């Protein structure tokens, strides 16, 4: 079983000022793992985001649904190459591998992904959670139903590019096997979005 060395946790900051956390392998120090970051999943070349609005016969708003799928995006080559350069020693060429997430079942440390919506004026505050796939790229499919006109307005503004609308955030809580100071244990950590989603939306009546 793949085990990371939790005591080797380090940070690499890329040219966009995004921080990437990485760890060394507990048994093979020349192998390292970079925590991926959440992003909107891409399906058929488009972000996996669908906002459907329902209206009555007179065109008045009734309700809406939101379907949104996220994925964990791997570290770009700039980050991997930078970490390789940092870790390289004479005769040793470090290599990157995918973070070895494990399924911990339905217990208190169950793997989860959370979607958080919060408008700047405090009138919209929603949180949804799902169990993400552990197969790369660890997709998480969120579905929100019964949305209000106020919530739709917030989503339309945010994904339409209004930087003052509020925030949309995604947090993954996943588990790996880790070793530290001679003790082997499950380490449950969060990977949160460190950059904004690509903002786009589509209306379906």
Q: In 3-state terms, the chain is what percent helix, strand and coil (to 5)?
A: 10, 50, 40
- Asked, for residue 147, whether it belongs to a domain, the answer is yes
Cβ-in-10-Å burial (0-12, 13-18, 19+) of 189 comes to middle
Residue 84 lies in a domain: no
Model confidence, pTM = 0.80
Residue 114 sits in which domain range?
Answer: 36-74+102-204
Q: How far apart are the first and last CA of the chain?
A: 50
Does the residue 181 lie in any domain?
Answer: yes
Residue 189 domain-assigned (yes or no): yes
Q: Is residue 16, in this structure, part of any structural domain at all?
A: no
Per-residue confidence (pLDDT) for residue 104, from 0 to 100: 82
Report CA torsion sign: 47, 190, 37, 154.
positive
Q: Does 195 or 138 have the greater pLDDT score?
A: 138
Query: What tokens does 177 get?
Result: 């096997």
Total domain count, the chain: 1
Position 102 pLDDT exceeds 60 = yes
Report DSSP state, residue 182: T
Residue 3 lies in a domain: no
Asked if residue 119 has pLDDT above 80, the reply is yes
Any idea what DSSP says for residue 160?
T
């Amino acid at each position: 079983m793949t085990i990371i060395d939790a005591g080797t946790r380090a940070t690499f900051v890329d040219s966009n000022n995004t921080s990437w956390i990485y760890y060394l392998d507990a048994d093979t120090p020349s192998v390292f793992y970079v925590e991926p970051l959440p992003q909107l999943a891409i399906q058929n070349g488009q972000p996996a985001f669908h906002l459907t609005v329902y209206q009555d016969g007179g065109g008045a708003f009734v309700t809406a649904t939101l379907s949104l799928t996220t994925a964990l995006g791997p570290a770009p080559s700039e980050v991997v190459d930078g970490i390789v350069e940092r870790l390289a020693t004479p005769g040793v060429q470090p290599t990157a591998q995918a973070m070895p997430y494990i399924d911990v079942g339905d217990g208190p440390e169950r793997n989860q992904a959370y979607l958080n919506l919060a408008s700047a004026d405090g009138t919209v505050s929603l949180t949804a959670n799902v169990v993400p796939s552990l197969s790369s790229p660890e997709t998480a499919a969120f579905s929100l139903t019964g949305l209000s006109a106020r919530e739709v307005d917030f989503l339309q503004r945010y994904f339409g590019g209004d930087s003052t609308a509020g925030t949309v955030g995604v947090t993954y809580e996943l588990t790996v096997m880790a070793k530290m100071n001679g003790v082997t244990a499950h380490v449950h950590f969060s990977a949160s979005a460190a950059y904004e989603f690509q903002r786009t939306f589509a209306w379906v009546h």
